[in-house]
Structure 1
Amino acid sequence: MKYDRCMEIVERDAKVYSDFARIPYYPLAIKRGRGAIIEDMDGNKFIDMLSSASSLNTGHSHPRITKAITDQLEDFISYTAAYTYSEPLISLGEKLCRITPGDFEKRVVYGLSGSDANDGMIKMVRAYTGRTKIISFVGSYHGSTLGSLSLSAISLNMRRKIGPLLPDISHIKYPDCYRCSYSKESDSCSLECLRDFKEALKTYMPPEEIAAVVMEPIAGDAGLIVPPGKYVNELYRICRENGILFVSEEVQQGFGRTGKWFCIEHFNVVPDIIVMGKSMASGVPLSAIVARKEITDSLGPPAHLFTMSGNALSCAASVETINIIEEEGLLERSRELGDYAKARFNEMKKKYELIGDVRGKGLSIGVDLVKDRITKEGNKEAAAKICYRCWEKGVIVIFLASGVLRIQPPLVISKEELDRALDIIEESIQEFINNEIPDSVLDVAVGW
Structure 2
Amino acid sequence: MSNNKKILAEEKRYLADTSRVKYFDVVIDHGKGATITDADGRDYIDLLASASATNTGHSHPHVVAAIAEQAEKLIQYTPAYFANTTTAKLTQRLAKLAPGQFEKQVVFGNSGSDANDAIIKFARAYTGRQYIVSFTGAYHGSTYGAISISGVSLNMTRKIGPLLPEVVKVPFPDQNQRLANESDDDFSERLFKQFKLPFETYLPADDVALVIIEPIQGDGGIVKAPQKYMDLVYQFTRDHGIVFAVDEVNQGLGRTGKLWSIDHFGIAPDLMSVGKSIASGLPLSAVIGRREIMASLSAPANVYTTAGNPVTAAAAMATLDVIETEKLVARSERIGNFAKAFFEKAAKRYDFIGDVRMYGLNGGIDIVDSQGQPDDEATTKLIYRIFELGAIMISLRGNTLRFQPPLVITQAALESAFAMISQAFSELEAGQLTLPETDNHIGW
TM-score of the pair, normalised by structure 1: 0.97
Tell me the residue number matched to 1:74. 72
Measured after TM superposition, the shift of residue 200 of structure 1 is 2.4
Decide which moves more: 349-358 or 188-197: 188-197
Residue of structure 2 in register with 1:31 after alignment: 29
Quick one: structure 1 residues 329 and 445, their matched pair in 2 at CA, closer, same or farther if it must change by over 3 Å?
farther
Task: Please list every run of 5 or more consecutive structure 1 residues that lacks an aligned counterpart in the other structure.
Answer: none
Contact 1:214 1:247 in 2 (8 A): yes
The 1-side partners of 2:205 and 2:346 are apart by: 46
Among 410, 415, 424, which residue is 2:420 paired with? 424
Report the Cα offset of residue 187 of structure 1: 6.7
Equivalent residues in 2 for 1:37-436 (5 A)? 37-180=35-178, 184-186=182-184, 188-189=186-187, 191-372=189-370, 376-436=372-432
Q: Distance in 2 between matches of 1:238 and 1:247?
A: 13
Deviates more, 1:156-165 or 1:211-220: 156-165
In structure 2, C-alpha distance between the alignment counterparts of 1:335 and 1:281, rounded to whole Å:
21
SS in 2 for 1:109: strand
Structure 2 distance, partners of 1:169, 1:175, is: 19
The alignment-based identity, stated in percent, is 43
| 1:284-320 per-position Cα deviation (integer Å, ceiling 9, x unaligned) | 1100000101001100111101100110000000011
User: What secondary structure does 1:191 align onto?
Assistant: helix
Q: Which deviates the most, 376-385 or 390-399?
A: 376-385
After TM superposition, where is structure 1 displaced by more than 3 Å over at least 4 residues in a row? 185-190, 440-445
Once residues 188 and 81 of structure 1 are traced to their aligned partners in structure 2, the CA distance between those partners, rounded to angstroms, is 49
Q: Structure 1's 443 and 431: CA in aligned 2 closer, same or farther, altered over 3 A?
A: farther
**Alpha-carbon distance change, 149 to 366 in structure 1, aligned in 2, over 3 angstroms:** same
Q: Which runs of 5+ in 2 are unaligned?
A: none
Aligned counterparts of 1:402 and 1:5: Cα–Cα separation in 2: 29
Q: Residues of 1 paired with 2:113 and 2:368: CA distance?
A: 31
Task: Give the counterpart letter for 2:171 in structure 1.
Answer: K
- Taking the aligned partners of 1:200 and 1:4, their CA distance within structure 2 comes to 55
Distance 1:12 1:402, change over 3 A: same
State the distance in 2 between where 1:215 and 1:168 align: 17
Residues 129-168 of structure 1, C-alpha deviation per residue, up to 9 Å, x if partnerless?
0011010011111111111000111111121121110111
In 2: Cα distance, 1:336 partner to 1:252 partner: 20
Deviations 1:311-360 (A, max 9, x none): 00000000110011000010000000111101110000010001101103
- Give the partner amino acid of 1:24: K
1:349 partner SS: helix
Partners of 2:70 and 2:188 lie apart in 1 by 54
Q: What whole-Å deviation, never above 9, does each CA across 1:56-109 have from its counterpart, x for those lacking one?
A: 000000000000000001001010011111111111111111111011111100
Q: C-alpha separation between the residues in 2 aligned to 1:189 and 1:295?
A: 33
SS at match of 1:447: coil
Code of the aligned partner of 1:145: T
1:381–1:442 CA contact under 8 A, matched in 2: no
Q: Supply the AA of the counterpart residue of 2:257.
A: G
Pair 1:354–1:441, CA change in 2 (3 A): farther
Shift of 1:181: 6.1
Q: Tell me the alpha carbon deviations over residues 232-255 of structure 1, each in whole angstroms, 9 at most, x when there is no partner.
A: 111111111111111010010011
Task: Say whether the 8 Å CA contact 2:255–2:360 is kept in structure 1.
Answer: yes
- Sort the Cα spacing of 1:130 and 1:376 in 2 relative to 1 into closer, same or farther, 3 A: farther
Structure 2 counterpart SS, 1:32? strand
What is the distance in 2 between the residues matched to 1:282 and 1:11? 29
Offset of residue 367 of structure 1: 0.6
Cα 1:388–1:399 change in 2 (3 A) is same
CA distance in 2, matches of 1:244, 1:63: 43
